[in-house]
Amino acid sequence: MTQGILARYRDRLPVGAKTPIITLGEGATPLVQADALARRAGLPKGSLYLKLEGSNPTGSFKDRGMTLAISKALESGARGVLCASTGNTAASAAAYAARAGLRCVVFLPKGGVAMGKLVQSLMYGAEVVEVRGNFDEALALAMSTARREGFTVVNSSNPFRIEGQKTGAFEIVEQLGAAPEYQFMPVGNAGNITAYWKGYREAGPGRPRMMGFQAAGAAPLVLGRPVLKPKTVATAIRIGNPVSREGALRARDESRGLIGKVSDAQIINAYRLLARLEGVFCEPSSAAGVAGLLKIRHEGYPIRGRAVCILTGHGLKDPDTPLQFAYKRKIVAPGGKLRL
């Protein structure tokens, strides 16, 4: 049977003898070498890697934290679990809660969630509440509802989420044989960059510079203040007031990394390059880290050693964004001769 991260990293996680293990076999995701993309970034062969977190059971990195958060919620006798989400947290919570037999309520910004994610929450049987507002407003409503109703919050404010997600760093160290010199990743609510930094600190001596990227229209950590009306094509990171702000700044400063911003055009460019050069289809938000790498290389930023880009979610989560490009398609009648 496939083991999930709780079984594989049990000794490094808050799992006790009585903790029920709710797993879908998450983690152990591929780390693939990306030489064509490295070339585009002016980097040598063998220096750039992609961590395919879209290969997790519900198609995003959220499953690493959710297996633990839901297992602990079940252990503590929770009445139910609840979260606000731009889509992936909700899909993951819904799946693991279904397996645990727990009620799951998800608060989604109406019109701000990619179709694949919305249908996952519906299929897994979550109670879906669409909030006429943005993610930050949905989160405020979720938190006050949880307090009143006695539900367990499984947003990344839940420390078990961060604990589970830190296992991504353990895997990269195992897969490369050491920590890389750089890690590029998208930043939304900033839980994942917080978790990876914790993971690298626990994994051993080598530590990457943490290079986080926000969308330019939703870049509170770059601006140094919350963004009231965040805007970006990358709906997963359309977040104006990150919960794990402190963790992200700490990761940046302690690792001597940076948190930058990339435009929607840069995100879409990286998104298309990943698919066309490397055969890797991730969702737009996931491409923000790669967009950041290409941007800083273009500006002459030196990269010495190995870099890993975390591709946080699968491209099939968001089938609508690609259709906004004018992809050439041929329409033919059967039986004719087609010249290529």
Binding site for ligand AN7 (CB under 6 A): 60, 85-89, 156, 186-192, 236-237, 283, 285-286, 312-313
Query: 221's torsion region: left (phi>0), alpha (psi -120 to 50) or beta?
Result: alpha
Whole-number minimum distance, CB 128 to ligand AN7, in Å? 14
Residue 307 — φ and ψ, nearest 5°? -120, 140
Cα-based torsion angle of the residue sequence 261, 265, 266, 270 in order, rounded to the nearest 10 degrees: 130
**116 versus 313: smaller Cβ distance to ligand AN7:** 313
Q: Please give the Cα distance from 248 to 189 (Å, whole number).
A: 9
Cα separations in angstroms, 70 against 1, 81, 276: 20, 8, 37
**83 versus 100: smaller Cβ distance to ligand AN7:** 83
User: 74: which 2 tokens?
Assistant: 């079940």
**4 versus 116: smaller Cβ distance to ligand AN7:** 116
**158 versus 286: smaller Cβ distance to ligand AN7:** 286
Q: Please give the Cα distance from 97 to 128 (Å, whole number).
A: 13
Whole-number minimum distance, CB 28 to ligand AN7, in Å? 19
Rg (CA), the chain: 20
Neighbours of 256 (CB within 10 A): 9
Whole-number minimum distance, CB 47 to ligand AN7, in Å? 23
Whole-number minimum distance, CB 285 to ligand AN7, in Å? 4
User: 289: which 2 tokens?
Assistant: 């880290």
Whole-number minimum distance, CB 85 to ligand AN7, in Å? 3
**178 versus 275: smaller Cβ distance to ligand AN7:** 275
Whole-number minimum distance, CB 213 to ligand AN7, in Å? 10
**45 versus 225: smaller Cβ distance to ligand AN7:** 225
Whole-number minimum distance, CB 328 to ligand AN7, in Å? 28
Whole-number minimum distance, CB 277 to ligand AN7, in Å? 20
Handedness of CA 223, 224, 228, 230 (dihedral sign): positive
CB 290 within 8 A of CB 212: no
Element (H, E) at 153: strand 152-153
**255 versus 286: smaller Cβ distance to ligand AN7:** 286
Neighbours of 253 (CB within 10 A): 12
CB 313 within 8 A of CB 236: yes
Query: 43's torsion region: left (phi>0), alpha (psi -120 to 50) or beta?
Result: beta
**45 versus 110: smaller Cβ distance to ligand AN7:** 110
